[in-house]
Chain A
Amino acid sequence: MDIAINTLRRNRTQAITLTALVVFFLVAMQGMETQDWVITMLRGLAVAAVTFLVASGFSLIFGLMDVLNLAHGTLFMIGAYIGWTVYVRPDTAVDITPPIALIAAGLVLLPACEYLLAKMRLSHTILRLLPWVALILGLLLLFVGLPRFPITAWDPMVYDKSPVVYSVQLDTGRLILPEPVQVDANSLAVGIAGALLGGGLIALSLAAFARRTRAVAKTRFPRMAVGVALVLMILGLVINASSAALTQLLMDVGTTWRFFVAVIVATFAGAGLGALMEVSLIRPLYARPIYQLMLTLGLGVIGREVIIAIFGRSQTSMPKPALFNGTGPGCPAQNIGDWLANQCSTISFMGSRIRTYNEIFVILVGVIVLIVVWLLLQRSRIGMVIRAGVQDREMVEALGTNVRRVFTVVFALGVGLAALGGVLAGPFMGVSDSMGESLLLSALIALALGGLTSFPGAAAGSLLVGLLQQFIVKYGQIGIQLPFLAEPFKPTPPLVPASTLLLMVIILLVMPQGLFGRKE
């Protein structure tokens, strides 16, 4: 009976809040032209989509593992830069893939190293020394090996070779890639061996660290890890051998297809980065939340500095792919069919223009991700384990499920979503080292609004944040007639973030758990 009353009460608050919001947006509609209202809605939805990609990943990770990943904004930004690299400098992207694939091939041998260490009887001294020796040796090999790979890159310190210039070249259709760097075969062989062995030694070191802290169990030989390592190794070698042809292919397919490749690469690279981060750094700290917080905060700062070192400080743009960039005959398009036929950057709508990339494509991707992740959570076995694990990890483990492996998958998924958000945001928000911070803040506000660990809550919160921001921006341009004021009120830009915070404070006062949160 109590439960029934509580449910009713909670749903009533939700219903009231939602009604209030609908009323707010309908009233907002009265204050402006219909087309302005529609376009502001679409802009709000686009911001909401990007916010949602960051917020949902953050919320999945926090819900299952109680890890507040403060590096999430930085990972969003890194996703944008990975996308930029594939999109604007495919030659560089192709060049750096082999060393990364080879290191990864070494790293995924981690389960095999754990297996070997469990089999061997090792003295106490060796067990104390092994992790450090392997770590130092591994890093040394990487240090020696990595510079030997031929990498044709930009140079942020020289204006003519800086990322900004290549972006402009691509935008104006005159992208000229520099001549590929050449290295001799011996040097390359050292590089390949260094990357592969370095990765393997670091995996051995991680396994040895883990071996010290817990008793060893008999496990089966991890055939799959070895298989994946072999595939990665072969992939790395093949890409290295055919780098020129691959670059040419990426240039030939045109910007639209290259952009889609960039989106996919950034998403999967983000996921890989997330998995690596979980296995190596987060895993030892599950029992120590404060250290975890410091770690992710620090990683965020380090990630940003690394990006500045590689790409320079200045903001670059990411030109829109051809499908969303046309201005020639037939543009602005009259309808969706026209747009696809003429590849227009805008569609005309009641005298105004809707931008096809910002206001259609981004929203579409956001909706697709929402549906796909929702289905994954509701319909798949791993989704079931995640939903159960959010409530009680210990019990899931006691049923015979390896929750730790699920942790890695969820971390990869969460960071992959953030990276996807980053690369999508590139063409409409610009690419800069600071793009992650404001977005992480928006995402956190969205989660506080929607309920920290609720997936629908992340969507609803992002929606509120995105729409509110864009409406305030719009009213900053056209002014809003408020009661008791003679002049229309024009909110200034600083009010944009303030307004979302205000909304958060109000909602949290009424519903401390957020809209979809669960009472602790």
Chain B
Amino acid sequence: MVKPADNLLEVRDIHTFIGQFHILQGVTVQVPKGSITTLLGRNGAGKTTTLKSILGITPPRQGQVILDGEEIQGRRTYEIASLGIGFVPDYRAVFRDLSVEENLRIAERKPGDLARHQDFIFGLFPDLKRLIKLRGQQLSGGQQQMLAIARALVADNRLLLIDEPSEGLAPVLVEQMMEAIQRLSEETTVILVEQNFAVASQLAKYYVIIEEGRSVQGGLMADLLKDRETIQRYLGAA
């Protein structure tokens, strides 16, 4: 297998179906190690499905997903996750009946994961330490989002898939969230799906634009920012 030295993850021309619908019709994404890559595109373009295809929640029918030189498509979701991928879904998926502590402990893949990472986690989100005994259903939207990200940091993950972290949050919380993602990207690699182009463009070093189930363009965020026309065409943002 040919392995470009600096890509942690490569998604090569994947096609994914949900029921009869051909949702992804050729998505290719390269994720360089140690930085944030953002998936851009309109609602329903296939960004979330791309994340789910990487994890095998909606397994791709064609194409390859290569993590650190190893083909992982077709494996069961828990096996893929255990290779070191953390997932923060757009609907947060905090477990309502579990306490904050249990929500974190359930993400442990080996004993002591939480103990080793808790300083880092509580450093990012000091609020969670205070809320540790509350149940998931008692948290506010912003607190749930913090917990969802924190949960992805419990195990030794080399790649984080973060879907719409700023959705539905008050502006002050969005800034906190951005800071947190910025800080954790110093430790690990991140794929970020973000509707808010302002947020995405500040955080990400690389971007891929997905349009109607196809990846149409990718590269350095710095280059995209100079290209007003592309932004206008695909993202409808100025």
Q: Which residues of B contact A396 (CB under 8 A)?
A: 106
> Which of B5-13, B92-100, B179-187, B220-228 has 4 or more CB atoms under 8 Å from chain A?
B92-100
Known A398-B77, A399-B81: A388·B87 in contact at CB below 8 Å: no
Which of A214, A384, A401 is within 8 Å of B74, CB to CB? Answer: A214
Residue from A391, A392, A399, A404 within 8 A of B151 (CB atoms): A399
B116 touches A (CB below 8 Å)? no
Binary flags per residue of A212-255, CB closer than 8 Å to B gives 1, else 0: 00111111000000000000000000000000000000000000
Q: Is the CB of B78 within 8 A of A216?
A: no
Interface contact B97-A387, CB-CB below 8 Å: yes
> Are A400 and B78 within 8 A (Cβ)?
yes
B142 to chain A, nearest CB (A): 15
Chain B 52-95 interface 0/1 with A at a Cβ cutoff of 8 Å (1 = within): 00010101000000000000011111110110000101000101
In contact, A392 and B106 (Cβ under 8 angstroms): no
Q: With A395-B93, A398-B87, A399-B151 as given contacts, are A387 and B74 in contact (CB-CB < 8 Å)?
A: no
A385 adjacent to chain B (CB < 8 Å): yes
B174: interface (CB < 8 Å):
no
Residue B33 interfacial (CB < 8 Å)? no
Say yes or no: is B102 at the interface (Cβ < 8 Å to chain A): yes
**B74 to A400, Cβ gap below 8 A?**
no
- When chains A and B are docked, how far (Å) is the Cα of A404 from the Cα of B73? 19
- Give complex CA distance A385, B109 in Å: 12
**Is the CB–CB distance between B75 and A399 below 8 Å?**
no
B235 within 8 A of A: no
CB contacts (< 8 Å) of B102 on chain A: these are 384, 388
Q: Which residues from A are CB-within-8-Å of B77?
A: 394, 397-398
How big is the B interface, by class? 20 to 34
B210 at the interface (CB under 8 A from A): no
Nearest B-chain residue to A393, judged by Cβ = B77
Residues of A within 8 A of B55 (CB): 398
Chain A, Cβ-Cβ closest to B103: A388
Tell whether, in the assembled complex, residue B98 and residue A400 are in contact, meaning their CB atoms are under 8 Å apart: no
Does B36 sit at the interface, judged by CB under 8 A? no
Q: How far is the CB of B55 from chain A (nearest CB, A)?
A: 6
Contact of A397 with B78 in the complex, beta carbons under 8 Å: yes
Smallest CB gap from B77: residue in A: A397
Answer whether A388 and B98 are a contact pair too, CB < 8 Å, given A398-B55, A400-B81, A401-B106: yes
Q: Which of A216, A384, A404 contacts B105 (CB 8 A)?
A: A384
**B140-165 CB contact bits vs A (8 Å, 1 = yes)?**
00000000000100010000000000
Tell me, rounded to whole Å, the shortest Cβ–Cβ distance linking B129 to chain A: 20
Q: How far is the CB of B191 from chain A (nearest CB, A)?
A: 14
Q: Which of A215, A219, A403 has the most CB of B within 10 A?
A: A215
Instruction: Kindly state the separation between the CA atoms of A391 and B102 in the bound complex, as whole angstroms.
Output: 14
In the complex, what residues of A have CB within 8 A of residue B57's CB? 394, 397-398
Q: Is B107 an interface residue (CB 8 A)?
A: yes
B89's nearest neighbour on chain A, judged by CB, is A395
Specify which of A388, A403, A404 lies most central, judged by the most chain B CB atoms within 10 Å of its CB.
A388
B81 touches A385 (CB 8 A): no
A391-B78 contact in complex given A384-B102, A384-B105, C-beta closer than 8 Å: no
Task: Judge if A402 is at the interface, Cβ distance under 8 Å.
Answer: yes
The docked-state distance in angstroms from the alpha carbon of A258 to that of B121 is: 55
Within 8 A of B (CB), among A258-276: none
Contact A399 B98 (CB under 8 A): no
A391 contact set on B, CB distance < 8 A: 95-97
Is the Cβ of B106 less than 8 Å from the Cβ of A384? Answer: yes
Known A388-B106, A398-B87, A400-B81: A216·B74 in contact at CB below 8 Å: yes
How distant is the Cα of A403 from the Cα of B81 in the complex, in angstroms?
12
Known: A388-B106, A394-B57, A396-B106. A403 touches B97 (CB 8 A): no
Chain B residues with CB under 8 A of A384: 98, 102, 105-106
Binding site for B on A (CB under 8 A): 214-219, 381, 384-385, 387-388, 390-392, 394-404
What are the 8 A-B residue pairs with the smallest beta carbon separation, nearest first? A215-B74, A400-B81, A217-B75, A395-B93, A388-B95, A400-B82, A398-B87, A397-B77
Chain B residues near A (Cβ < 8 Å): 55, 57, 59, 73-79, 81-82, 87, 89, 93, 95-98, 102, 105-107, 109, 151, 155
